Amino acid sequence: MNRGKLEKFGLLIAIFILFLLVRIFVASPIYFISMDEAKYLTLAQNFPHHTLFNNQLYLVHPPGFPYLLHLFSLILSDQIAGITVSLLFAAITFLALVKIFGLFGKDSSWIAIALFLLAVSPLHISTSRVIYKDSTFFGLFALSLFLFLKGLIRSDRRCLYSAGVIGALGFLTSDITILLLPSFALAYLLFRGTETRIRDAVIPILIMMAAYGFWILTRVIIFTNNPLYPVGVDGTIEYVRDFTLRQLFTPRYFPATATMFNFRVDFGVPDQYQCLSPPRTIRYPRDRLYHRLHIDRRDHDLLHHPVINPEEFPE
């Protein structure tokens, strides 16, 4: 890099180095695997079946992140592979944001100051070095949005279609990627070039919806063909045949799981009490339960399988 470019991008490079350092170097050599991390590592080991509780298809989250973990675990140990994936996509998020700001004509010093907040963000630092899908989601979301904006501004169909493919991978990683749809619609209204055709802007959305539709259809087929399924929190068995639209898109709203967590936000309640809800009793009609549940007792990395006993629910 010549001296001119170094002077121009020096501050931005320094911020990126800071971004990496605070994520690579940690305070303890001990890494404790817990909660969803154990699930993702087990799903990666069960590639390509994406099975978990009771050795059945895991429907709470799409298979994209576990598949990526499995790919990296071919050359790295499971734990290091998971952390590497999160760190890699954290860096992709940073670089994609740099390119997005660049599209709007911001100079490198302005971009460096803006991204300093991301570099030192405690929330983003924590998600960048744990085996969670959040960092991967952020990276795919930002990269897809950058490609779509570039395609609109420069009327480049290759960028638009690439945005659709990256967005589809995002939909197969996290349901939250659905936020790309209104983002794309707003971007089209505000930033489309004079030569950008609406057909070229719609095709990426159709690519993403095809990927997400495949995952939603999988849920529909399984829910309609199984009265009970381990789709609740930590494998809680739920009655799924009479599912609602909200339960289809977010399985945590099935009744047994919904009683464990209050997913509504009450602005009059302190944050530490947001996840608590008053105890309630869920009564399942006897004709909706098997009189005998055959549960596969094989453990998956100490993950246990909650069992519903029909005898506990009187007629």
Q: How far apart are CA 307 and CA 230, in angstroms?
A: 9
Is residue 288 predicted with pLDDT exceeding 50? no
Binning pLDDT at 50, 70 and 90, where does residue 140 land?
very high
Number of neighbouring beta carbons within 10 Å of residue 287: 7
Q: What is d(CA 16, CA 10) in angstroms, rounded to the nearest whole number?
A: 10
Q: What's residue 88's pLDDT?
A: 96
Give residue 286's pLDDT: 46
Calpha distance 237→243 (Å, rounded): 14
Q: How far is it, in rounded angstroms, from Cα 212 to Cα 169?
A: 9
**Phi, psi of 236, rounded to the nearest 5 degrees:** -60, 130
Residue 18 contacts residue 119 (beta carbons within 8 Å): yes
44/195: higher pLDDT: 44
pLDDT of residue 53: 87
Q: How far apart are CA 159 and CA 66, in angstroms?
A: 27
Counting residues of the chain whose pLDDT is more than 90, the rounded percentage is 51
pLDDT at position 264, please?
55
Decide which of 264 and 18 is more confident.
18
pLDDT value of position 309: 47
- 161-193 burial by CB neighbour count: b if 16+ within 10 A, else e? bbbbebbbbbbbbbbebeebeeebeebbeebbe
Structure tokens at 95: 């670089």
State yes or no: pLDDT of 293 exceeds 60.
no
> Hey, which of 139-153, 241-255, 284-298 has the most confident mean pLDDT?
139-153
In this model, does residue 220 exceed pLDDT 70? yes
Please tell me which residue, 160 or 282, carries the higher pLDDT value. Answer: 160
pLDDT greater than 70 at residue 139: yes
Tell me which of 302 and 253 has the higher pLDDT: 253
Residue carrying structure tokens 């055709």 = 197
Q: Which residue has the higher pLDDT, 6 or 114?
A: 114
* Whole-number percent of the chain with pLDDT over 70: 80
Q: Global pTM?
A: 0.80
Q: Which has more pLDDT, 65 or 1?
A: 65
**d(Cα 90, Cα 81) in Å, to the nearest integer?**
14
Mean pLDDT taken over the chain: 82
For residues 117 and 101, give the distance between their C-alpha atoms in angstroms, rounded to a whole number: 14
Whole-angstrom distance, CA of residue 80 vs CA of residue 62: 22
| pLDDT for residue 265 is more than 70 | no
Q: Please determine, for residue 194, whether its predicted confidence score (pLDDT) is greater than 70.
A: yes
Please write the tens of the pLDDT for every residue from 171-187: 999 999 999 999 999 99
Q: What pLDDT score was predicted for residue 250?
A: 87
